[in-house]
Amino acid sequence: MYHKPKVSIIIPVYNGEKYLSKAIDSATGQSLEEIEILLIDDGSTDNTPAILQQYKMSDNRIEVITQLKNSGLGPARNLGIEHTNGEYIFFLDADDYIHPNALEVLYEQAKRENLDILQSKYIRKKHNNKQIEPEDLTPLPSPVNGIEYFHQGFFISPMAWAKLYKTSFLKQKNLRFKNQINQDMPFVFEALTHANAVNNNLMPTYFYQINEYSISAKFSEKHITDYIRVLEDLQAYFMNTNLTNKNSIFPIQYFLFMARLSDRVLKFGDSDQKKRVKKYVEKKAKKYGKFLTKNKKYPFLKRMILKSSPYNYSLLSQTFKSKKHK
């Protein structure tokens, strides 16, 4: 084991015997060798523990941390943060994988620019193996702080992965994940509000796969509760940290998250759940819609529909997609 790893890769795993090898292999196969790989076994009941131990025996950079009881993705990531020894942290979900040069490229830039957060592109892989790059990152001539990043309207992915975080920054600011289904967005946005140096890297480093085993592919009443909890957190962030600047991307992402909740309940919810969500998001839209009026970082028509009703925005989007595929 290297005395001081340059990057710690944190990979939480729960019952991942059918898919986790690709993620771990992509981590061990990095061109940056000075890394540690923390495999967090979050109370698995299948053959995952045996697989993780085999990987540990094959590579001395791997550490297996076992929790006897399943606690969820957020607490598992937090456990990884507590045990990390690397200068930087990279989160990798067990059903995804990363480019062989990902950590070398990101580490060199983060170290050179003394960054707290470095965001990279990611590629979404669909079931048919089709690849798409869902976001358009803006190259920055020099690092900016997190509030300025929001105010200049730059895109920030609400996912914790595909980013490199300075370990000392996360620990000094006591930045941790909450124990809820949608814990990425509050973590990322709170981290940004504290960051002194943020930048983008245009290399697609992360491959995000949607599969039948993923928690994100399921839906329950708890999802609605957690979505609403996240929205309340985001509301507090943008009201208490001056993120309502007319050019800020934050209100757009807040409204898009309401649309995302609406989309989920329209697809999977019952009539009572739909009424509950519709009432909630339209109340918030009426209260905070003014922050979208002058924001030109999002197409005018979409912005106006979002401002009026994130629920109807999702309904129209589903209708459009349905007609398109007929």
Per-residue pLDDT reduced to its tens digit, 262-288: 998 998 888 999 999 999 999 999 988
CA dihedral 110, 26, 92, 201 (to 10 degrees): 30
7-215 belongs to which CATH class?
Answer: alpha beta
- Whether residue 228 is predicted with pLDDT greater than 70 in this model: the reply is yes
Terminal C-alpha separation, the chain: 56
Mean pLDDT of 140-169: 89
Mean pLDDT of 299-323: 82
Least confident among 91-105, 106-120, 165-179, 310-324: 310-324
3-state secondary structure string, 155-193? CCCCCCCCEEEEHHHHHHCCCCCCCCCCCHHHHHHHHHH
CA dihedral 274, 276, 279, 285 (to 10 degrees): -80
Strand partners, 35: 7
Nearest-angstrom CA–CA distance, 10 and 79: 9
Tokens of 112: 């050179």
Nearest-angstrom CA–CA distance, 223 and 260: 11
pLDDT score recorded for residue 215: 42
Phi-psi region of 242 (alpha: psi -120 to 50; beta: other; left: phi over 0): left
* H helical segments located in the chain: 20-28, 48-58, 73-83, 102-113, 146-151, 167-172, 184-194, 221-240, 250-268, 271-288, 300-308, 310-324
CB atoms under 10 Å from CB of 169, counted, come to 19
Give the global pTM: 0.87
Tokens of 319: 């209708």
pLDDT in tens, 16-72: 999 999 999 999 999 999 999 999 999 999 999 999 999 999 999 999 999 888 888
- Whether residue 242 is predicted with pLDDT greater than 70 in this model: the reply is no
* CA R_g for the chain: 20
How sure is the predictor about 132, in pLDDT bands with cuts at 50, 70 and 90? low
The vertex-258 CA angle with 257 and 259, nearest 5°, equals 85
pLDDT score recorded for residue 213: 44
Contacts (Cβ under 8 Å, ≥6 apart) of 182? 223, 226, 227, 229, 230
Domain borders along the chain are 7-215, 219-324
How sure is the predictor about 221, in pLDDT bands with cuts at 50, 70 and 90? confident
